[in-house]
Amino acid sequence: MSFNWHRRDGGMLALLLFWLFWSWSVWQRADWLTSFDHHVALALHHSPQWFQQAMLTYTLFGNPHSVTLITLVIGLALIVGRHPRSALFFWLNTWLLAACGNYWIKQLIQRPRPTAWRLTNIGGFSYPSGHATTTTVLIGSLLVIAYDLLKRPAVRRWLLGTGVVLIGLMLVSRVIVGVHYPSDVLGGAMLGSLLLYASTRLSRGHRTGPVQFRK
């Protein structure tokens, strides 16, 4: 497999370095990051009541059971639509890369969850947000597939805008319900973006068409 350096690779390398710095700051409990978390979370916790209730419902779509069902249904739909490679790309990204990547970083950092404000209860470690990582990879993978299969620029732009909003709302919801710090969800979104980009680059030219097995 040949690999040619693209300009976007440089941007993702910069993002990787920034994410490593961000994660190190979380691990070290840097004062500037603690202040950032406090001020952003405080603003979101004072959002309108109707918005908080909406986010409490929306965040359920990022729960493991919901993600499993959504991923299974979409993957099967891609197979029925004769896009098995796209389904495989989607499943591997969501079920393997996002899940495993997030789990190992959580075990490494072991950041306790916030306790000052809770609209729901959940256990486990806080950094990075699994909902943020998984939603970024899930929606990002669908956007990659859409860009592979759809040729109309207007449709692509509309899907991209919708995807960004849906990811952003998931990040906000995790802070509003009180189970993550703002730095958790941003770290999760960055991790998800890095995993998605690596998968997309390595699978270039292999995401469309039928699955063929060599004899």
Long-range Cβ pairs for the range 179-182 (8 Å, 24+): 179/113, 179/114, 179/118, 179/120, 179/122, 179/126, 180/113, 180/114, 180/126, 180/129, 180/131, 180/132, 181/37, 181/41, 181/114, 181/126, 181/127, 182/36, 182/37, 182/40, 182/41, 182/44
> 198: pLDDT confidence band, cut at 50, 70 and 90?
very high
Q: What pLDDT is stored for residue 1 in this prediction?
A: 46
Q: Give the chain's mean pLDDT.
A: 91
pLDDT at residue 119 above 80?
Answer: no
The domain ranges of the chain are: 7-202
Which of the two residues, 208 and 25, has the higher pLDDT score? 25
Q: What is the average per-residue pLDDT within 173-179? A: 93
Between residues 120 and 178, which one has the greater pLDDT?
Answer: 178
Mean pLDDT of 111-129: 86
pTM, two decimal places? 0.90
Q: What is the pLDDT of residues 46-104, one digit of tens each?
A: 999 999 999 999 999 999 999 999 999 999 999 999 999 999 999 999 999 999 999 99
Please report which confidence band the pLDDT of residue 40 belongs to, taking 50, 70 and 90 as the band edges: very high
pLDDT at position 117, please? 76
